[in-house]
Every structure is written in C-alpha cells, then in structure tokens.
C-alpha cells in the first residue's frame, strides 16, 4: 500500500489526497459479528479505520437496495448451468438498477460480453469455457473479499431416516431423498 502512495500519517492509512481511509461493514444479523471482528482488527493493523454497523432487516434492505454502504455480505448461489441470472449479479445494466444483486456496481463491457457468450453457448464445453473466463475476469477485478467457504455441510439429525447410497451431486438431498425408516426407529425406541 505504501508503494502505491497510501502511507501512514498520524497512525492512520491515508489516500493519495491525505484523507484517512475508513470503511463500515453493514450487516443485519448479529451472528455475523464474530466473523467480522478479526477482519476489522487486521484492517486496524494496516492503519485503516473499520467499523461494524448492525441495522434492522428493513433498514438493511433499503440501504442495500440504494447501494448505501461500504461493505456488506452477499452469498452467491448459482445453478449448475448458469445463464441469464448472471446479468442481475454482474452486468452493467444491473449496476445502474436500484435493488439489483450487483452490489459491487460491476460495469465492465468485457463481463457483459462474457455473460452474453455464456447465455448463447451451444455446447456444455463452450459454456464451461466461457464460465471459467468470466470467473477469472471477475476475480481479477477484486470486487469482493471471500468471507468463508466450507465444502461440506454438517447436519444433526435423529437417525430414523434412510438415505440413498449415492448422494445427489450438488445438494444435500434433504428432505427430497430421505425417508422414514421404521427399522431404525424401532432400534432407537428400545
């Protein structure tokens, strides 16, 4: 940061114009607070003043819809065959639309063209290639900070259910593929 001109002045990291850098995390769920506090502490170590604001869900929705925040959380969950839904998250058109999912305000003609290419893909191979390129372009833009990721889901359940030997590829399969197993239930009741 120092090499880019963002130096420390009076214990604070400042912009090229000499203004202190500060950011506010906006959330509506207090349970996210423990996840944010170490990040806020680390930003402080860099000389960046960071704060956390917890607001009620209605105010949060209004501020997010109006793009009235510095940083917030967004979960991305796309289908295994991406298409037109990508526009609402990453297109220039969505960046200018209040209430869109494009919270970062991405407005890049290259990304718009890649989304068009994904939608028009005529084979799974061309779709996969275009999606990978889009992924790399978006990652290169550094529009977000990954928060956390866990490749598995932990579930607590009373073991009276039968489950198929082969789980669904992209889902937990609950409750769609589970069934009540009378034999297991009898064993538990004994």
Dump pLDDT digits (tens) for 104-147. Answer: 999 999 999 999 999 999 999 999 999 999 999 999 999 888 77
The DSSP annotation for 96-133 comes to TSTT-S-TT----HHHHHHHHHHHT--SHHHHHHHHHH
* Distance from chain centroid for Cα 42: 20
Say if residue 121 is in the same domain as residue 83: yes
Q: Residue 106 in contact with residue 95, Cβ under 8 Å?
A: yes
Q: Residue 96 in contact with residue 107, Cβ under 8 Å?
A: yes
* Containing structural domain, residue 61: 1-73
Say if residue 36 is in the same domain as residue 68: yes
Say if residue 157 is in the same domain as residue 127: no
pTM: 0.73
Say if residue 89 is in the same domain as residue 49: no
Say if residue 65 is in the same domain as residue 97: no
Per residue in 55-82, pLDDT tens?
999 999 999 999 999 999 888 878 888 9
Q: Quick one: which of 32, 75, 39, 74 has its CA closest to 53?
A: 32
Q: Could you say which of 73, 103, 132 is where a domain stops?
A: 73
Average pLDDT, the chain: 91
Q: Could you say which of 38, 73, 108 is where a domain stops?
A: 73
> Is 17's pLDDT higher than 90?
yes
Alpha helices by DSSP H, listed for 50-176, are 57-65, 85-90, 92-95, 109-119, 124-141
Say if residue 18 is in the same domain as residue 58: yes
Say if residue 141 is in the same domain as residue 166: no
Q: How many domains does the chain have?
A: 3
């Amino acid at each position: 940061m120092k090499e880019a001109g963002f130096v420390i002045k009076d214990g604070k990291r400042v912009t090229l114009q000499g203004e202190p850098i500060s950011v506010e995390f906006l959330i509506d769920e207090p349970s996210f607070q423990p996840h944010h506090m170490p990040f806020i502490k680390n930003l402080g170590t860099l000389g960046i003043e960071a704060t956390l604001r917890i607001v009620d869900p209605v105010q949060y929705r209004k501020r997010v819809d109006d793009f009235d925040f510095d940083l917030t959380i967004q979960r991305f969950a796309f289908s295994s065959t991406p298409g037109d839904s990508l526009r609402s998250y990453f297109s220039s058109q969505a960046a200018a639309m209040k209430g869109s999912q494009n919270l970062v305000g991405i407005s890049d003609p290259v990304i718009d063209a890649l989304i068009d290419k994904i939608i028009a893909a005529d084979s799974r191979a061309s779709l996969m290639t275009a999606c990978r390129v889009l992924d790399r372009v978006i990652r290169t833009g550094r529009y977000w900070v990954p928060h956390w990721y866990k490749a598995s889901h932990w579930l607590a359940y009373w073991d009276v259910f039968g489950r198929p030997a082969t789980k669904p590829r992209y889902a937990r399969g609950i409750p769609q593929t589970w069934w009540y197993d009378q034999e297991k239930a009898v064993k538990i009741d004994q």
